[in-house]
Amino acid sequence: MRSIAEAFPNRLCGVLRTENEAAGFQACLTALEAGIGSIEITKTVPSCFELIKGLIATTGNRYPVGVGTVWDPGAVKEAKAAGASFVVTPVLLPEVGQACREHDILCVLGALTPTEIYQARLEGATLVKVFPISPVGGPSYVKALAGPMGGVPIWVSGGVKIEDVAAYLELGVKAIGLTDALFPADALARNDMETVRQNAMRAVQAAAGVPAI
């Protein structure tokens, strides 16, 4: 099993949600080349496990690639077989946490409230994905959690803006999932990889300015 630092080396993870598999594949490669440290391919992407295999093969396994929007424990076995480094759920799913332990793969369980965050850790989450973060206050919500839950390793996603990357990292967030901010749907529809590249470079620059806590 990879550690958090190994799975998210610069604390940035591109989260791909698209029905355009070809454009999505190219967008992921573009983001990685521009400095994004990790990629999550959601199960909503057609042939997501083949896409994961393709990214790993094309990049020579240099970058951690995970599978997201996992709802059932069976997908954990598929993720492991595809070479995924981590599994991400949208909600708290103890059975997925158990499957991750069985298959020795880093587990990111989704949660939102303090009770859910605590429960996610009890159920084996290496990282707790606080989702959706933007509608509940963004960095201010993470700051409010920090007092009683300061020791919990947190991933944030759900409406994260590149402009907020530094603020999250300054609060000790271990990983940031960038979806539309990195991979805008209209850019993928146009096969506009330059927009993806520019978004990635902005995010990487923002993250580089904040030392790891």
CATH number, residue 43: 3.20.20.70
Contact predicate 177/156, CB 8 Å: yes
What are the tokens at 91? Answer: 């909600």
Whether pLDDT at 213 is above 90: no
What value does the mean pLDDT take over residues 95-119? 97
Query: What pLDDT, on a 0 to 100 scale, did the predictor assign at position 125?
Result: 97
Alpha helices for 60-209 (secondary structure H): 74-82, 94-103, 114-122, 139-149, 165-170, 185-189, 193-208
**C-alpha span between 58 and 51 (Å, rounded):** 10
Neighbours of 46 (CB within 10 A): 13
What value does the mean pLDDT take over residues 187-208? 98
Query: Looking at the 3D structure of the chain, how many domains does it have?
Result: 1
Whether pLDDT at 23 is above 90: yes
* Predicted TM-score of the model (pTM): 0.96
**Number of residues that make up the chain:** 213
What DSSP element (H or E) covers 13? strand 12-16
On whether residue 81 sits in a domain, the answer given is yes
On whether residue 194 sits in a domain, the answer given is yes
User: Which segment of 34-48, 82-96, 143-157, 164-178 scores lowest on mean pLDDT?
Assistant: 143-157
Q: Please give the backbone phi and psi of residue 87, each rounded to the nearest 5 degrees, phi first.
A: -125, 135
**C-alpha span between 83 and 110 (Å, rounded):** 22
- The range of the structural domain enclosing residue 37 comes to 4-208
On whether residue 213 sits in a domain, the answer given is no
What value does the mean pLDDT take over residues 64-78? 97
Contact predicate 4/153, CB 8 Å: yes
- Considering only CA atoms, which of 168, 151, 160 is closest in space to residue 117? 151
